[in-house]
Structure 1
């Protein structure tokens, strides 16, 4: 076996770089791969989200940077409705012990179940009827979605201009972010970025700028930030090794990711726009639904929250499936 492997290794072309590895069925022609990457990028250019649609989807846009930036932890000392229990509460920058279980809520979404042969709406977490007292306790939380408000908390930045000497920058990158609750709203706690071949470029935890009050584990899948290496600035520097203003960023509901990253970028392919809901906005197809309908693949089936690598990878697969379908329609 060793001799056979050595002979096969001698027969294969010289390696052209760190990604050009393997022999026999493992080896992938780097020239063909590069050509495929160029084709996907060129075809992807035809399906970028228009600036008008970016605005409708509430993406942060370049004009946001014209607003003066005054750093502050907006809303501290004001009254806000809790996203979970909908009760009004006082926003603080530091919570005490009593604040940590002040909210009584149902952590799971409403679902329809048959009760005594009849369909009824119940809470997915405990199967209690709609309107019942919450089955979980935790801190009150809120989320800002207005980019102009978010900009005052943490400044937005543009993706960098293209560096022709970079050996790491990518034509297409898919992103997925996970967020947790802090005293200043919702902040980024994990970023996963994959290239067009669905290989991981970056998968890192992120230390928020404000006091963490809930990692939102049921949805984020994050149970601890132990071992975290980056804050937001440090993570963006790592991300900018792979993306620039010419990179196409792919994702699902990417306005949330751009807001979490505080990045302004306009070369976007959003699967929300690529596969619009039949009823139109504000309705949106879920990533889970699109994966099932288009790719015949079931995702987000676990109980430990989302897998950001799985979500990012599926977005690339959806783009590939969409372009393949468009090509078939053109050739009819």
Structure 2
């Protein structure tokens, strides 16, 4: 899991600057410590660009450790959509949550915080599967499933695993 310093370095939203993140919500009111028995969920969100030149949510998908889809829904943005951003990846699929495992961090192949490998490349390299190949854009269930598979692989083989 990312510690507080890593969350800040990776530009995760933190409640320390509430004005900047006023539209974000906490995932729950109280957080219990993580244990080996704690459940894991992979969350992927798809975004669009709206008429007010803002990135807004359009889809949310949640997958559990058994790779079962627990939640998948479309979200109507507040403003008119001008670009569905189907060919781009976003790292702002975020909400306030203190327990985060970020595949781009745990699989940072070159150690560069800015030029980290994307999910498509990581899935091909470590899982041997091609994702995000359709012309209709990303599938948030496919992306969440791949993230969970990558995290489980890392946990199974250890943080220093190399292939």
Q: State the shift of 1:297 in Å.
A: 1.3
Higher helix share: 1
Match of 1:182 in 2: 50
Alignment CA distance shift 1:178-1:62 (3 Å): same
Are 1:161 and 2:161 counterparts?
A: no
Structure 1 residue corresponding to 2:93, chosen from 242, 257, 264: 257
Are 1:314 and 2:146 counterparts?
A: yes
Q: How large is the Cα RMSD of the aligned pairs?
A: 2.5
Are 1:50 and 2:8 counterparts?
A: no
Match of 2:35 in 1: none
Aligned length: 155
Match of 1:283 in 2: 115
Structure 1 residue corresponding to 2:156, chosen from 314, 318, 324: 324
The answer to whether the 8 Å contact 2:86/2:138 transfers is no
Are 1:192 and 2:98 counterparts?
A: no
How far does the alpha carbon of each residue in 1:250-277 deviate from its partner, in whole angstroms, 9 at most, with x for none?
xx94xx111xxxx211200000111113
How far does the alpha carbon of each residue in 1:169-216 deviate from its partner, in whole angstroms, 9 at most, with x for none?
x82110111111112311000111111111111110001112222223
**What TM-score, normalized to structure 1?**
0.43
Alignment CA distance shift 1:283-1:192 (3 Å): same
The answer to whether the 8 Å contact 1:219/1:304 transfers is no
Does 1 or 2 have the higher relative contact order (CA < 8 Å, sep 6+)? 2
Structure 1: state its 5+ residue gaps. 1-47, 68-147, 165-169, 221-251
Structure 2: state its 5+ residue gaps. 33-37
Structure exhibiting the larger radius of gyration computed from Cα positions = 1
